[in-house]
């Protein structure tokens, strides 16, 4: 697929907005992917999930490796952007070879790279290819974890199509990522006439979040971000309920366990307040391994054979490759286009890297 065709395909994907949790939008896009993979010679299907269906596709091998263990490619079709973002703050545009728009970098550019590589290897000898495209990656893949685990069985290696490092290096390990929800139940009362009878869930939540910060303070192996807060309703009513979603990043499993145990053990500060902590999603830390180092060496050699310089480095972000790496599958991520601004209004991708990456992925398919 030429660069103009790849750009056209990317634009059509970006204009098909697919926010996490919008099942109708995600399922419609999944249908597009199923048809596209079928056109490329794969056997594709949707895997049902309440918040949006996932896609699994299998492509047969060819030649001497036709019966070999498959290579697994992981991607996702949900984005962090709501429907309407394209018509508002992030219109599709190309300026000076840079593509702008919601999802161009994370990760509809990766989807276009993947399908372009699959098209390029048609007729070439290669091992079987398995593709899993997840619908809720941006919130930790809570409905896809079992699917990714099952589809990882027996594969020779796993590759992700998340954005690479800024210089194009692939990702060789990732921090763990856990999302929790802290829910506070208090007691409502009139804020002016009888405040002493109330228990402010909002005040309790604020103090709990400060306590969470104290737990992680000074630990450079933990990142903590309070992403969502809701609670109360009226300024003349003591809030009876409140909650917050908190995201943690952990360098290693031991730190993760220690922090989560400490957070879950935090007592209520106000008498009568009820504090409930639930784990909403979890991706275990994917740590460096000899198997991944060996895989990277093969990909570096493959890159050299087509005139591309490939590198690799650890990453603090999390993705579905956390799971394959944690399971012991040789894993690399970052095969998406070079760019910047993931989850930001300046999200962008370098146009020429679409073809560069597709060429690299095609070479990986035929050499790994």
Tell me the domains of the chain and their CATH numbers: 3-175+286-367 (3.40.630.10), 176-283 (3.30.70.360)
User: pLDDT per residue over 277-300, tens digit each?
Assistant: 999 999 999 999 999 999 999 999
User: pLDDT per residue over 76-106, tens digit each?
Assistant: 999 999 999 999 999 999 999 999 999 999 9
Residue 220 pLDDT class (50, 70, 90 cuts): confident
Report the C-alpha gap between 351 and 94 in whole angstroms: 9
Residues across the chain: 368
Report the C-alpha gap between 49 and 27 in whole angstroms: 10
User: pLDDT per residue over 182-217, tens digit each?
Assistant: 999 999 999 999 999 999 999 999 999 999 999 999
DSSP 8-state assignment for residue 65: G
Question: How far is CA 48 from each of CA 144, 149, 347, rounded to the nearest angstrom?
Answer: 10, 16, 30
pTM (2 d.p.): 0.91
Sheet holding 222-231, edge to edge: 222-231, 241-250, 176-185, 274-283
Closest CA to 367 of 124, 73, 110: 124
């Amino acid at each position: 697929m030429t660069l103009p065709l790849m750009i056209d395909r990317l634009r059509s994907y970006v204009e098909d907005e697919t926010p996490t949790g919008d099942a109708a939008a995600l399922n419609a896009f999944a249908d597009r992917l199923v048809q596209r993979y079928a056109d490329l010679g794969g056997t594709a299907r949707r895997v049902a999930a309440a918040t949006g269906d996932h896609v699994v596709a299998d492509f047969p091998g060819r030649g001497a490796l036709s019966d070999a263990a498959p290579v697994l490619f992981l991607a996702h079709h949900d984005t962090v952007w709501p429907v309407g973002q394209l018509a508002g703050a992030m219109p599709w545009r190309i300026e000076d070879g840079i593509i702008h728009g919601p999802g161009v970098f994370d990760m509809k550019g990766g989807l276009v790279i993947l399908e372009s590589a699959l098209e390029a290897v048609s007729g070439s000898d290669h091992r079987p290819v398995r593709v899993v495209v997840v619908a809720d990656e941006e919130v930790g893949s809570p409905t896809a974890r079992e699917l990714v685990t099952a589809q990882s069985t027996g594969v020779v290696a796993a590759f992700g199509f998340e954005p690479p490092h800024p210089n194009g290096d692939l990702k060789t390990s990732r921090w763990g990522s856990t999302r929790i929800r802290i829910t506070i139940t208090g007691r409502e009362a009139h804020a002016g006439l009888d405040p002493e009878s109330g228990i402010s869930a909002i005040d309790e939540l604020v103090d709990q979040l400060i306590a969470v910060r104290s737990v992680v303070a000074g630990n450079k192996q933990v990142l903590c971000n309070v992403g969502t807060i809701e609670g109360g309703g009226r300024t003349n009513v003591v809030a009876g309920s409140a909650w917050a979603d908190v995201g943690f990043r952990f360098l290693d499993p031991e730190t993760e366990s220690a922090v989560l145990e400490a957070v879950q053990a935090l007592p209520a500060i106000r008498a009568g307040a009820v504090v409930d902590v639930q784990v909403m999603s979890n991706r275990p830390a994917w740590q460096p391994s000899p198997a991944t180092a060996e895989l990277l060496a093969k990909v570096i050699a493959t890159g050299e054979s087509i005139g591309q310089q490939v590198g690799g480095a650890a990453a603090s972000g999390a993705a579905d490759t956390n799971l394959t790496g944690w399971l012991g599958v040789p894993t690399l991520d970052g095969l998406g286009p070079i760019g910047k601004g993931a989850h930001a209004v300046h999200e962008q991708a370098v146009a020429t890297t679409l073809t560069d990456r597709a060429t690299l992925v095609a070479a990986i398919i035929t050499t790994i």
